[in-house]
Amino acid sequence: MLTAFARAFKTPDLRKKLLFTLGIIVVYRLGTHIPIPGVDYKNVQECVDQASGNQGLFGLVNMFSGGALLQITVFALGIMPYITASIILQLLTVVIPRLEALKKEGQAGTAKITQYTRYLTIALAILQGTGLVATARSGALFSGCTVAGQIVPDQAIFTTIVMVVTMTAGTAVVMWLGELITDRGVGNGMSILMFISIAATFPSALWAIKKQGELADGWIEFGTVMLVGFVMVGLVVFVEQAQRRIPVQYAKRMIGRRSYGGTSTYIPLKVNQAGVIPVIFASSLLYIPALIVQFSGSQAGWATWIQKNLADTAATPHIILYFLLIVFFAFFYVAISFNPEEVADNMKKYGGFIPGIRAGRPTAEYLSYVLNRITWPGSLYLGLISLVPTMALAGFGANQNFPFGGTSILIIVGVGLETVKQIESQLQQRNYEGFLR
């Protein structure tokens, strides 16, 4: 492994890409610590210290921003507006014929959809930035904070506009940095920035578990969490790499004096075809009722029921609903992202067929049957992995942002595997030896 790293840095082109990616990461991490104008930084830090381990509804968004959200910095919104915009455009591609036509146009159509994603990202950043400023002013951002003084002392409209514009500009810069990594660095830029944001919260979360522990000054709890983390990483890697390979045979065709086709290949259907999207969907949907109650300040019966059963992540109704939503969104996302009829038509067009299955509609039905069969274990796996933070809360008093929780570990392992594959492919082009042996 060490020799592989050495070979990566000895290759001039790859070394430039790796150093460029590291430089962008440093710039990104610096931006997560620069406070925006109009915020009392001292009060914010005191509230962050009090809220450590109890970040409530904003825990997931704070994790995606690398801890910048609760500190109200330039990159407070992080990569979340872009993720949300990408998911919305991906869903609308199935609904709106114009977007579907653009998707089929190839590179030009993809560039147009990317441009739409950028515009939607800016609009969402303005909306989320305004909501964050309003939440910080009302005191709902840090529930239970006893710091004397306000987080946003100046209530003028101009100050609010400056704060929202600064955070929106920060989101645009983050989007630009991600695209720079994609073009001139290694891996997918947005995924790597998301990886860095989540990984940045690991040291503080692990150290908080150590400080809260009681056995041998917390080292036993710390070691147990690390052991659980290694086991989970191994399980996630195993499942993420698992796939059902459906064999495809292409018939020989004679064109002039040359024969084409006659090759064998396969369609790789992953067990976790939906990735981490169902977990993000389910988490976001469950946050909406609790956010409504928090902003309304109502003490009615329905508000009390939501606070007790949905806002509390350890409540039985929350756990059951969270699990069922993940399973539902796993099937939903697979259904819109993989079209068996389109795959069957393309195979038929180029003379391909699955051995033992007739081309056309029988092939589409067979692909749907196999996809439904493997999506069941994939969705159950996502649901069980996502419940690990809840079990950690009950087991050894970890906070809601347990470092080896479902969303974080899925993203880190997925991005890590894809980045390593890209580095390996570039090494194989030059040295004929991969990154991993």
* 336-387 pLDDT per residue, tens: 888 888 888 888 887 788 888 888 888 889 999 999 999 999 899 888 888 7
pLDDT in tens, 374-408: 999 989 988 888 877 666 655 555 555 566 666 77
Share of the chain above pLDDT 70, in %: 81
Assign residue 353 a region (left: φ > 0; alpha: ψ between -120 and 50; beta: otherwise).
beta
pLDDT for the residue 177: 92
pLDDT exceeds cutoff 90 at 13: no
pLDDT exceeds cutoff 90 at 169: yes
Mean pLDDT score, 26-54: 77
pLDDT for the residue 255: 66
Of residues 148 and 239, more confidence is placed in 239
How far, in Å, CA of 247 to CA of 43, rounded?
Answer: 61
pLDDT for the residue 123: 92
**pLDDT grade for 51, boundaries at 50, 70 and 90:** low
pLDDT in tens, 123-159: 999 988 888 888 777 766 766 666 655 777 777 888 8
pLDDT for the residue 126: 92
| Mean of pLDDT over the chain | 79
The contacts of residue 414 (CB under 8 Å, 6+ apart) are 191, 240, 275, 276
How far, in Å, CA of 296 to CA of 111, rounded?
Answer: 41
* List of domains in the chain: 1-200+407-437 (1.10.3370.10), 240-404 (1.10.3370.10)
Share of the chain above pLDDT 90, in %: 10
**431 φ, ψ to 5°?**
-115, -10
Mean pLDDT score, 52-66: 61
